[in-house]
Amino acid sequence: MQGLGVPLATPFDDDGDVDHDALGALAEWVTDRGVDFLVPCGSNSEAELLTADERTAVVETVADAAPDDVPVLAGTGAPGLRETLELTEGAAGAGADGALVVTPFYFDHGDDDVAAYYRAVADDAPIPVFLYSVPKYTGYTLPPAVAGDLADHPNVAGMKDSGGDLAAFQRTRARTADADFDLLVGSGGVFAPALDAGADGGVLALANVAPEVASEILDAHRSGDDDRARNLNRAAVDLNHAVTAGHGVAGLKAAMRSRGAPAGTVRSPHRPVDDDTAADLAALVDDAL
């Protein structure tokens, strides 16, 4: 799981059902534009609004649509161990190559509890496990020391860090540098700086809307043109903010639709953005491309 990943949006039809035809088309749309791996059932996929059976079906659709050289990292995290293991087994059976497991949420847990939970998941998971720290949604930040300890587990393959804290990111990189551990940034606004800091890639909501831009940032960094990578990233910062912190998943899908991407609609309690907001988002997309 290196390079550019996308937390793939889940298209819903007007009745609120998963539109599997649109989902398969979306997987092809982003991979044709430079995405290296697909991440169904992540935060931007509205995974917590899907049933367990729906999540498995979404993973299966994405795995079937993915080209042979594009791996699938499925979000399988839940508040408790048993549900996480069931979701992970379902994702593996549906064709996922790895499991992205968010830190346990809803209840408060100490660092030792979280570490023990991840070890239990990794012990039983039939596919490699990736840690996922997204404090915006969970209220918990996975400490670099805990990530470093978990990196020694033979079935813990990496981590997605969506905290947006570059100093913490670098501490995590330092503590995992000697392990076989893919460290991915989850904040598009700091993609280029994170690559400078040793990221192996990113899983970016931005890549649902402008995969070419995110791919170009990565290519510039890999070619040694870090100034160009940073400049490209700056040009996309406003769009990235608008489709994440600004307007959330509803804004993300509106921006995707402005490009003709098969985004579908959102699932309740999300509501579509209004026409003025959709127009503003379309303008930001035009500016970033």
Active site residues: 132, 160
pLDDT < 70 positions in the chain: none
Task: Write down the pLDDT at residue 112.
Answer: 98
pLDDT tens column, 85-114: 999 999 999 999 999 999 999 999 999 999
How deeply is 64 buried, as exposed, middle or buried, from its count of CB atoms within 10 A (0-12, 13-18, 19+)? Answer: middle
- CA nearest neighbour of 98 among 44, 45, 159: 159
Instruction: Report the CATH architecture of 3-225.
Output: Alpha-Beta Barrel (3.20)
Contact 74, 8 (CB under 8 A): no
CB atoms within 10 A of CB 68: 5
- Does the annotation flag 156 for ligand binding? no
Task: Write down the pLDDT at residue 206.
Answer: 97
**What is the rounded CA–CA span in Å between residue 88 and residue 77?**
8
Give domain limits for the chain.
3-225
Task: Write down the pLDDT at residue 196.
Answer: 97
Residue 278: C-alpha distances to residues 10, 147, 160, 243 (Å): 19, 39, 29, 11
Task: Write down the pLDDT at residue 152.
Answer: 97
Exposure class string for 11-21: b at 16+ Cβ within 10 A, else e = bbeeeeebbbe
Task: Write down the pLDDT at residue 131.
Answer: 98
Task: Write down the pLDDT at residue 62.
Answer: 98
pLDDT tens column, 23-47: 999 999 999 999 999 999 999 999 9
Name residues whose C-beta falls within 8 Å of residue 282's C-beta, 6 or more positions apart in sequence: 254, 255, 258
Task: Write down the pLDDT at residue 153.
Answer: 98
